[in-house]
Structure 1
Amino acid sequence: MDGRIDVVSDVLETMRFTTQLFGRFELGAPWALRVPKKETSSFYVLARGSLRLRVEGVEAPVLLSAGDVVLVPHGAAHVLDDGSRRTLAARDMLSPEQLRGPWLSPLRLGGEGPVSTLVVGCFRFSPGVHSPLFNAFPPAIHLPAHEPGAAPWLAATVQLIAAESASPGPGSAIVVGRLADVLLVQAFRMRVATAGPEGAGLRALADPHIGAALGLMHGRLAEPWTVERLAAAVGLSRSGFAARFHALVGEPPLQYLAGWRMAKAAQWLRETDDSLPQIAERAGYVSAVAFNKAFKRWHGLGPGGYRRARSVGRGGQEGAALPAPGP
């Protein structure tokens, strides 16, 4: 074994996403919802009906039909509506506060027209953790259920979410939250498989050489990697590897490696009691002084200060300590 690991799993595990559910809503036309820019990633599962999504800065709207899922991964401002008009009437706008009803109480909102059933929630990631692979997501990710070639897992997951949210019982929020986690992982997979020329980062995972290099960097983080060693490990020349890596990932190999080392170090500072020298060694630094300087350069404060600032209890209390975001 060469020590390569599943890069997608490592990225999502390091980013430590948690799922927050807002509930299931029966939206009668006319209706509209304006969601401001925020730090969380929204997701919408359309169990019945149709809707239109317009994301700020994106010209073409996304049209959803029953069974579709859409994610707004970077928290861009967006508007959802029933799609019946070009201009939204103020009286038809729902406030984000209306979508914070109790999970066990599906709500009916909007007018008396055709009804769309929507399950709403968001993903929250650990603060300050970024990845070029996640950053390569577009402003909106549409997972259509009925297009030819749609993955069978999508219809099954949406059906389970719709059924559980329609008849909630003990533990329903956890069940639907875990199913929503599956949607995020599958969206990552789908983007890796379909990323076009604009998908720097995600295309790298599908490339046999650069994908292998990323697996080695993630799996053997403490290794004293150089561009030459990485190139040799995946069977490319130094110059060819460096150029290909930069083109597919969006940054040079050692810059990516340094950033990921700092992301993992931040995770270990938040989630373990390991000493600073231990974390420095795990992150590939032979000198604690060099590690301290690099960490401060990336995160704006030293590792000790970061650990104190991010100190939380075990068992998911970090997510619980955060204020509830809007949908």
Structure 2
Amino acid sequence: VAVDDRRADRPFRLPVQWINRAGTDFRGAAGTVAQGRVRVGGPVAVLPSGLTTTIKRIVGGSGDLAEAQAGDAVTLALDDDIDIGRGDMLAAMRNRPAVADQFSAHIVWLSDEPLYPGRSYLMKINHNSVPAAVTELKYRIDIDTLARLAAKTLATNEIGVGNLSLSRPLAFDAYADNRDTGAFILIDRASNDTVAAGMIDFALRRATNIHRHDQTVGPMARTALMGHKPAVLWFTGLPASGKSTLANRVEAALHARGVHTLLLDGDNIRHGLNKDLGFTESDRVENIRRAGEVAKLMTEAGLVVLCAFISPFAAERRAVRDLIGDDMFVEIFV
């Protein structure tokens, strides 16, 4: 079967697989050209940073090349000593790929355990491994009729369309434009099983409108003012096991010693911030995600945060630990 492959005629893309340091005087970005062509002396952009440079050398398996095109595995040495690493993308100066931390995608669910919107998974895309979550499932596709059906989750072998959010911006193309740079997989962070495959449709507009702002007073300054390090003490266990009682007593003891604390109790939070959530598995996932985000904000204020939640899913506890940091997170099973 003849396949019409015009990848070499499209804008240049090379996801960086690793940095090749063949000697003290050589450093290059190694990978396979996903589409387009690149020549010695040609300008390229490094994404997501947006830095620009020119190609100094193209090294293939048999030596130096004047040009590389789609499908070639090469190492590109750059004229400038710029910050570049695994997961970055070298691209044409014009017609660059999208750079965003949110996008819409088709999702093919592979796991026996259903998709839980809000749960933190590990996404592998273009040699990156980043925390990611399905923030909204728009609909499920009926594979027999192609009808769009309302859905809050996906079961094994079901296909849906939803929005995903990443922990940091990445460079990518729509799957319709490039199957290599527009595809990804999702991995369960507790079991390391591959739970889904995905195809990117487009970057979300709001991903380009929201930026992090630097603050004059940062977490280190607040910690110095408090006189102690911030931390999260996460009390978990079965209902009525004594999580809230124990957390309350620990907070009282810390307060008596002059430690600045805040107690986040699962029942209390459901009276306010999480009053819109029920007790389905997906709502439980979202309940812990929100609590983790609040705990992180409180640690940035310099507090020791005591959290008392049932938190039955190991994946959610792991996600909160990753959000807070191993050095500041203590899990206590009651």
TM-score normalised by structure 1 residue count: 0.22
Determine which structure has the larger helix proportion and give its number: 1
Question: Which is strand-richer, 1 or 2?
Answer: 2
TM-score (normalised: structure 2) = 0.22
- Structure number with greater CO (CA < 8 Å, separation at least 6) is 1
